Amino acid sequence: MEHKNLRGENMGKSSKMSNGKLALGFGVLLVVSLLGMAFIFGGAQQPVTVTLPASVATGNIDTGMTLAGKNVCTGGASTSFDRDHYDRDAISTAFTDPELYRELGTTKWIAGTEGTAIVHPNIGVGLNYGFVSGISATDFVDEAYGPYNEYNNLPCGSRIDVESMDNEPETGLTTTFYNSDSNAAGQTVAANSAYKVSIKTYATSDNVFGNPYMDSYKAVGLGDIGSHRMDFPNVLALQLNVTAMDVPDYVKVTGTSGKLTFNSMTNSWEAGKQVLSAAEMNKIPCPERVSTEHGSSTSTNYCYEMPVIGDDEMQILIGINTDNSYVPYVDDTGYLYAAGLYLNDAGVLNWGVETDMGADVANDDADSVTIDITP
């Protein structure tokens, strides 16, 4: 993903804004919060009508008059709407990833860029809009994640700040296999036996593997997909030897996920609220990517929903079961896939680890871990 400083200059991976700019940014946030913090963070939860008179044109907010309950541009002003995205864990770092937007009540998504103002005729004053952060109409991988936001009665000219979180590449996860004795060593096995093994995983500091703002997209009508719950959007694929391993008895998760939860009292997204204690994950149909990217003629794929992975360690508990007659003699593999948003071929927004055509979403590969088997 691209980063810039909050002045709009390209600065490579990340940059720091000046103290004056930072103070101005907080001043703008304070002004807008007094008029309705839901305009910035809560739009996906409780969209509100924003009416900003010209008297509050302060700092980076330039608004028009309100006539007959609807915003218009006056005095030679022109339409401009700029959504500057900042890293919630490093507020002086900005993102310039793609975004999509559309007028509410319409179906076509329009391409935009975070931190670049949208101007007339691409956007209209007094109208209502919804925004999706971090994807374009054709590119759904390796961008920072952001919430879905709606803005009603758009002012003539305004600049607002929108929080985002950095995407963890699959190569950044720390993922380790542990045997039934909780040692990071091979699991000694015999035929017709059950074992409780585990995988421990976490992302690098302040990064997430999978979109942590998935709750916000329920406002667009997205929800569970069959047995795959939106609360656990990622996927674990267990690729087990077709001869020597049976269907796993269970997959459970313990720990704090990277999911963010919206607090309507504070109008903010909060971390650390999805705490799991041996929560059983549903078995789901395997994504096409499992076969196309990691297919094996000697293995069977078993897939399960997974939470978003943050920088707190999560433990994935797996009940493996060996064949009644054959002793496993080769290692197996687990694959973790991150979930995000995408547009299907009909231009409809959806979520998952792949598009309807099996193309990559969120990350361009899975993180892999060896399930170490010792005969």
Predicted pLDDT of residue 17: 36
Region of 86 (left: φ > 0; alpha: ψ -120 to 50; beta: rest) is beta
The pLDDT of 68-75, averaged and rounded, is: 73
Classify domain 170-374 at the CATH class level: mainly beta
Per-chain mean pLDDT for the chain: 85
Classify domain 3-166 at the CATH class level: mainly beta
Domain boundaries, the chain: 3-166, 170-374
The pLDDT of 1-9, averaged and rounded, is: 44
CA angle 86, 111, 40 (to 5 degrees): 35
Evaluate if residue 360 carries a pLDDT over 70. yes
Evaluate if residue 301 carries a pLDDT over 50. yes
Lowest-confidence pick of 42-46, 240-244, 287-291? 42-46
pLDDT in tens, 140-178: 999 999 999 999 998 888 899 999 999 999 999 999 999
Measure the CA–CA gap between 37 and 5, rounded to whole angstroms. 23
Task: Band the pLDDT of 1: cuts 50, 70, 90.
Answer: low
The closest of 135, 81, 90, 95 to 6, measured between CA atoms, is 95
Predicted pLDDT of residue 255: 98
Q: Which two tokens stand for residue 222?
A: 């997205």
Output the pTM of the full model: 0.83
The closest of 290, 296, 317 to 306, measured between CA atoms, is 317
Measure the CA–CA gap between 12 and 132, rounded to whole angstroms. 23
